[in-house]
Amino acid sequence: MIHRRIAYVGALGAAVLFQIFFKGYFSSFLLVLVALTPVLSLALSLPGMLLCALELSPCASMVVRGEEARFQVLLHVGARLPLARVRLTVDCLNQMTGEKEALHRDLWGGGAAFSLTADARHCGRLVCSVRKAWVCDLLGLLCLPVRTCGTAALVVLPVPVDPDEPPDFAGEEQQGATLRPRPGGGPGEDYDLRSYRPGDPMKSVHWKLSTKRDELVVREVLEPVRAQLYLSYDHFGTPEDLDRTMDRLTALSRLLLERERPHCILWADPVSGELRERLVEAERGLIGALAEDFSFPAPLTGRSALEQTLPGGRNVRRIHVTPHGLEGGEAL
Amino acid sequence: MTQSSSGARRKRGVLSAVLDGTLLFLALWGSVFSFSTAFALRVYPACLLAGCALGAVVFTAVFSLPKYRWAALLAIAAGWCWALWQLRQALVLGEISLRCSVVNACEESLGTERYIQPIAQLPDEVWQGACTVLVLAAVVPAALILGFAIVRQRSFWLTALASTPFLAVPLAFTITPAWLPLMAVLVCWGTLLLSSLTVRAGRKNWNRMRLTGLLTSALLLALLTAAMPQERYRRPAWADRANDKIVNWATELSDRHFSHMELLPGGNGGGLLRAEEQVDLAGAGPLRFSGRTVLDVRSSDLRGRIYLRGFSSAVYDGKSWGPLEDEAYQDLEEYWRRRISSSSFRYRPERGGDEEGEEPPASLEEQLNGFQPINFPALAARESAPGRKYAKISVRSVGPSSGCVYFPYHLLTTPGELSGAEFVQDSYLAPAEGVETHTLYLMPDSSPLDGFKLPEEAVPAERLYYNALVWDVYTRYPNSADLRQSLTDWVRGVIDTPEAYLEEGAENRHYQMLVQRGVNTQAEWALHMAGLIRDSLDFLAEYDPDTPAAPEGEDFTAYFLAQSRRGYCMHFASAAALLLRYTGIPARYVSGYVADIPPSGRVQVPDSAAHAWVEIYLEGYGWYPVEVTPAYAGGEPAHSGAGGEQAVPTPTPTPTPARTPPRTNTPRPTAAPQQEKVDLRPVWSGLIVLLAVGLLLLRRHLVRWLRRRRFAGADANRAAISAYRYLERLVRRGGTIPAQAQELAEKAKFSQHTLSQEERDAMTALAQREAEKLYTAASPAKRLLLRYFWALY
């Protein structure tokens, strides 16, 4: 717009010179006209400038690393006349790796939209926000800021890879583990008898014993309590290391879920060392855990989760995922 | 990146075509008719209008064609050339007619009035038709250029550039075209300007904006025209002052550095002053001034309006006022002898200083015992009122000298006290060679009615010799029948039918004094007669600075008094001087300037302040100035600057110039002495800087345009390689080359496969993204370099 301002100043100067040297009526008329033209332009464009707004939204809530992470910017205009030009600067930040990207774009008219592609080379949570948005009048002389509606976020998920084979959990049930009632019942060799509690299904009532005891007795199937499994990783490192770690972690987590093995994803705050854990019992839980973890910044160095004591007492297993492979897995 | 539809260029709906056609018609019709009305071309307006409409329709259609546009243009060009060939005879006549119209309009505007006419004597219809054919032939290329600018390029700047010459040429000659076509052009410009930034907003939005722009521009112009009526237009004073300053600076520059090239004309302004003491009345047309400053006046004693006397003219010949021959001043005694032999002579003064056998003295002052008639009123005032204070004034001539020194009334500095200037007879004060500034002393506010009388030693000179000269020379007028008749009719009319010649009729106080109550002295008689003539001129004649020159062959004053009764100061002064002479009162025409000294005590007098008035001779007193122009009514030249404080200086002579002035009767102005040069280096430096900045901007646009063309080229592999080369240039400034870009570039360069559109788009997108990253991460100084110096962003 600087060019237009310079051009207008030049035109105004020329009109002043014309007024000085041309002694007729037209010189005054032209000077007044040149002086009033920006007023007219502002009068026509001001309603649109004041009523326009930008809306930022992701095209998808999550993408796989390496795919296109697209955000859509939509310009809403509340007036009938189109806008001259909207110039905006959009910042895209990967909250985990800290990588920032700025994109400059120009929009015209009303109802205009454009999609911008952010850098999805690394895992993380991409947050897009409009840093600066200005709308100009019809002559491009005056600019006003444009209202924007918050930020838009998108999660860049790790790439599906072949999982590393975890340690053998076979025979874990036969290692003298304690038994506990199996939620939901079901078939089983081990069971316990107890009194009926309201809500127990009728099919679990042991009718033979109930007739003998003159009270309802319920057969509760027991299952062995397996060790709490933690998948830990270090929430620091280079973006490439973090990508490899996340790839392995996600693959392993999915494998465990296939084997119906709930587990917790665990990492330590790189600065304070505070442990953060997320229970993963299904795919949705895994995605949610990743999305939440990716919103925390990951510096290049920090405190490892291995330095911290795991919760859960003695019956825990930890598999530490690194960029190069898996560590641990034995019962602790 | 994807944006909403940018199909304004590709698809053109009906509304687009209608708007394009309307804008093209406005631009074309406005331009052509502005030119033709400004220069009063003899054309058939209806044919021209139809031609403009047809041109707008045709070229709108041609430039809206999606394909085969060039074929249509070629066909039109061929047809146009064929038409030119067929109508060549008419075009030649049309050129003559157009040239005559343009030249005559320019001459009229400049006031030079050297009109031309076609030699061939043909009927008006032939000239009109030929001129119409010529203009219609010119409409075709004009419509082509404007059509390209409006319909294809949608460019305001190109349209303005194409239509400006039609307006600029007449405006350069201060000719304003007809209002309606001028407004049509402005409406077109306004519409294009207001919609220029919405071209990419989509066809619908853009059309809506154009329609709105068209209506609002037209409305704004209509409102402005109504709010600023032409009849009540007054040029702003700041513009005049700025004009003075700029023209003065340019004139000074021209005089100092380019005087040999005569780049700028002198500021004669309507023929009021000439260096040769001749006042040309025949060429006195509408007043025109350059506005440049001619005098720089300073005085700590004088304030308010001052009349700066230049030179007086004694001889009228019907077409001019000129000086009296030098020979006429060589023997004043002869006038005395002639006078005493005349029966109308009433005085028998005593002769003094005249012995038999002596040769008659050569110069006027020598004959008048060293007295200068121009000093008489001041001497009379000083003699009669010794306690009266005199004033000091400094006058500097700016620019080329007009050959005389300008001073207010009444000059006290006598020939013996004068330095750097010399009196020329009783007419004016001529500056010495190389002297621009003169400091003079005055007795302002001197009136003969205060009883001022000349000192004893000056009485013989005045009464004996000078008086005789005055009564002989300054009462003469040409003996032409027209002039005599007009003078007689006027004077008799005033005396016999005052109600027809005076606003108050017989109640006019001067009339009362002259006719009814009687006057006692010659001074009273002359003053009242002068007042009477002034009042009659004021009543019957109209002040008009645009009065055209008198017809050739007519006596200037007779024509004014008997026929036109319209003029400006030259007309009024000339008529008053001759009317006074007719009544027997010695009078002469005086040229000079009128200025107002502000409280600061300094005033720059422009050439537009030039003025003419009359001096009448009062016996025993001297020459007394009288204002006779109605526009200056109330002005009292004899009381110039009398509102200022009175100084008490000692009468010291003015600064001695480098050389003593030669004792010639009519010293001529010479070239200004060497002065320090104006340092033009800042001006040149500024221009060079501006040029460099402009070139940088232009280069950046050009480089970006070329880059976009290369990226969008037909060959995808070459486009990818161009993008890679662009990335390499970015790397030199701190950018990086993404791995994907490297792969694509290698594939484009070394493999035999052609990159797909997606690969090419990906490559260019990568290049653009890297450029944006580099730009965003750069410091402000580096951003400027990236944009304008390296042209990488």
Q: What is the full DSSP assignment across B27-94?
A: HHHHHHHHHHHHTT----HHHHHHHHHHHHHHHHHHHH-SS-HHHHHHHHHHHHHHHHHHTHHHHHHH
Per-residue pLDDT of chain A (332 residues; tens, 9 = 90+): 788 899 999 999 999 999 998 888 999 999 999 999 999 999 999 988 888 888 888 888 889 988 888 888 888 887 788 888 888 888 889 999 888 888 777 877 666 677 788 878 899 999 998 888 898 899 999 999 988 877 889 999 998 888 777 666 555 544 555 677 777 777 878 888 888 888 888 888 888 889 988 889 998 888 776 677 888 888 988 888 999 999 999 999 998 888 888 888 988 888 888 888 888 888 889 999 998 889 999 988 888 888 777 666 666 788 888 888 888 765 54
Cβ contact, residue pair B216, A83, below 8 Å: no
In a domain? residue A15: no
Report the chain A residue with the minimal C-alpha distance to residue B203. A109
Among A1, A9, A28, A29, pick the best mutation site for testing chain B contact (most B Cβ within 10 A): A29
Cβ atoms of A30 and A36 within 8 Å: the answer is no
Both A192 and A105 in a single domain?
no
pTM of the full predicted structure? 0.56
Q: Which two tokens stand for residue B501?
A: 């010649």
pLDDT of residue B777: 83
Closest CA to A229 of A169, A140, A184: A169
Closest CA to B318 of B533, B538, B552: B552
User: What is the tally of structural domains in chain A?
Assistant: 3
pLDDT of residue A203: 86
Q: Which chain B residues are closer than 8 Å to A81 by Cβ?
A: 205, 208-209, 212
Q: Looking at this protein, which amino acid is placed at residue B359?
A: E
pLDDT of residue B433: 73
pLDDT of residue B338: 66
pLDDT of residue A37: 94
Q: What is the pLDDT of residues B205-253, one digit of tens each?
A: 889 999 999 999 999 999 999 999 888 888 888 888 888 778 777 776 7
pLDDT of residue B3: 31
In a domain? residue A8: no
Q: What is the pLDDT of residues B441-488, one digit of tens each?
A: 888 877 777 777 777 777 777 776 788 888 888 999 888 898 999 999
Output b/e per residue, B229-243; b: 16+ Cβ within 10 A: eeeeeebeeebeebb
The number of beta carbons lying within 10 Å of the beta carbon of residue A154 is 23
Pick the last residue of a domain from A224, A252, A280: A224
What's the domain range around A250? 228-331
Both A292 and A201 in a single domain?
no
Which SS3 state, helix, strand or coil, does residue B762 take? helix
pLDDT of residue A313: 61
- What does the alpha-carbon distance between residue B778 and residue B37 come to, in Å, rounded to a whole number? 57
In a domain? residue A122: yes
Closest CA to A305 of A292, A291, A318, A316: A318
For the four alpha carbons of B379, B381, B385 and B387, in that order, the dihedral sign comes to negative
Both A211 and A243 in a single domain?
no
pLDDT of residue B256: 66
- What does the alpha-carbon distance between residue B227 and residue A4 come to, in Å, rounded to a whole number? 29
In a domain? residue A167: no
Both A269 and A288 in a single domain?
yes
Cβ contact, residue pair B208, A102, below 8 Å: no
Pick the last residue of a domain from A169, A189, A224: A224
For the four alpha carbons of B317, B323, B326 and B331, in that order, the dihedral sign comes to positive
Both A209 and A134 in a single domain?
no
- What does the alpha-carbon distance between residue B77 and residue B58 come to, in Å, rounded to a whole number? 12
Q: Looking at this protein, which amino acid is placed at residue A200?
A: D
Q: Cis peptide leading into A235, omega within 30 of 0?
A: no
Cβ contact, residue pair B208, A112, below 8 Å: no
pLDDT of residue B190: 95
In a domain? residue A187: yes
pLDDT of residue B361: 52
DSSP code for B673: P
In a domain? residue A31: no
Q: Which two tokens stand for residue B788?
A: 């304008």
pLDDT of residue B287: 81
Both A213 and A268 in a single domain?
no
Of B198, B246, B776, the CB nearest to A82: B198
Among A12, A16, A73, A81, pick the best mutation site for testing chain B contact (most B Cβ within 10 A): A81
Q: Which residue do the tokens 């030669």 mark?
A: B662
- What does the alpha-carbon distance between residue B372 and residue B462 come to, in Å, rounded to a whole number? 9
In a domain? residue A22: no
Torsion of CA B352, B353, B356, B358, to 10 degrees: -150
DSSP, residue by residue, A65-132: TTS-EEEEEEEE--SSSPPSEEEEEEEEEETTT--EEEEEEEE-SSS-EEEEEE--SS-EEEEEEEEE
Does the ipTM surpass 0.90?
no
Both A318 and A233 in a single domain?
yes
Both A248 and A211 in a single domain?
no
Q: Looking at this protein, which amino acid is placed at residue B484?
A: R
Cβ contact, residue pair A29, B228, below 8 Å: yes
Q: What is the mean pLDDT of each run of 10 residues along chain B (793 residues)?
A: 38 85 96 95 94 95 89 94 93 92 87 74 88 95 95 92 94 92 96 90 87 94 92 84 78 66 44 54 80 86 89 90 81 66 46 47 71 82 79 83 83 82 86 82 79 76 79 89 92 91 90 82 88 93 88 89 92 95 94 89 88 91 90 76 44 33 32 48 82 86 89 88 92 88 88 84 88 86 87 89
CATH number of the domain encompassing residue A99: 2.60.40.1930
Both A188 and A209 in a single domain?
yes
Both A57 and A153 in a single domain?
yes
- What does the alpha-carbon distance between residue B89 and residue B93 come to, in Å, rounded to a whole number? 7
Beta-sheet strands, E only, within chain A: 53-58, 62-64, 69-76, 85-94, 100-107, 113-118, 124-136, 143-145, 147-149, 151-157, 179-181, 191-195, 217-224, 228-233, 263-268, 275-280, 316-321, 326-331
DSSP code for A203: G
Q: Which chain B residues are closer than 8 Å to A102 by Cβ?
A: 772-773, 776
In a domain? residue A115: yes
Cβ atoms of B90 and B133 within 8 Å: the answer is yes
Both A246 and A283 in a single domain?
yes
Both A193 and A259 in a single domain?
no
